Amino acid sequence: MNKTIPESLEFIHALKRKLESTHPAEVILIPPFTSLFSTAEALRGSDIQLGAQNLSHLTEGAVTGEVSGSMLVSVGCQYVLVGHSERRNIFREDDSLINQKLKTALSEGLRPIFCVGESGEDRESGKTNDIISNQLEKGLSGLTSMEMRKMTLAYEPVWAIGTGKNAQPEQAQEVHEAIRNQLALLYGSDISEATRIVYGGSVTPDNSPSLMAQPDVDGALVGGASLDADSFYAIINAIK
């Protein structure tokens, strides 16, 4: 919940100037709902894509305050976050609801960025893989192989979000590898290898090169460091 419309536009103009040359990374901006339309207009003609931070599991109806997938598509979104840790923890979204949201997003033509991750208590008690395996199994329940090809997975250790504590590169790689192995069991090695798994959790310009160098880390879901164009651009440059 950052940036008004004028602040969003100022950020976009600064980032677009830095990204004028061809860059191998795919860049997606995920602003607040209020900035989506203005952001879409400002991004017109650029390679930067647009995503939303959330969507309703319903397609329409008497659900005041909710935003549907079709509304997001109509404003120009290609992507949507589903299952972000703050949605899970603050708003109590469970795996069943997240599964519904994934199915709704896909049915509306959006590409979900599906977030999974463990708490600090889970990690300390050695439950990281069990927690994430359960989130994957329940969240992906009923999704087909064709639908999986439209998905991006994001590992975001809850204990690292907004704390300044990022997972060490080896820790991130260990979890990303476990996620990829589970995808192989669920959908086969072809889909497992083709699925992008990005890391989110206090990503900064300083730690992004070592994180992005890990074989199973395919990108970054950037939080606070994405609020400044210079900082965000430095992270983009770490993705080869």
Per DSSP, the three-state class of 190 is: helix
Q: Among residues 147, 143, 204, 211, which one has the least CA distance to residue 175?
A: 211
DSSP state of 91: S
Annotated active-site residue 156? The verdict is yes
Of the residues 84, 93, 108, 176, only one is catalytic, namely: 84
Strand residues in 147-207 grouped as ranges (E): 152-155, 196-199
Of the residues 57, 108, 156, 176, only one is catalytic, namely: 156
Dist CA 209 CA 144 (whole Å): 34
Dist CA 28 CA 46 (whole Å): 11
Dist CA 83 CA 95 (whole Å): 8
Catalytic residue ranges: 84, 156
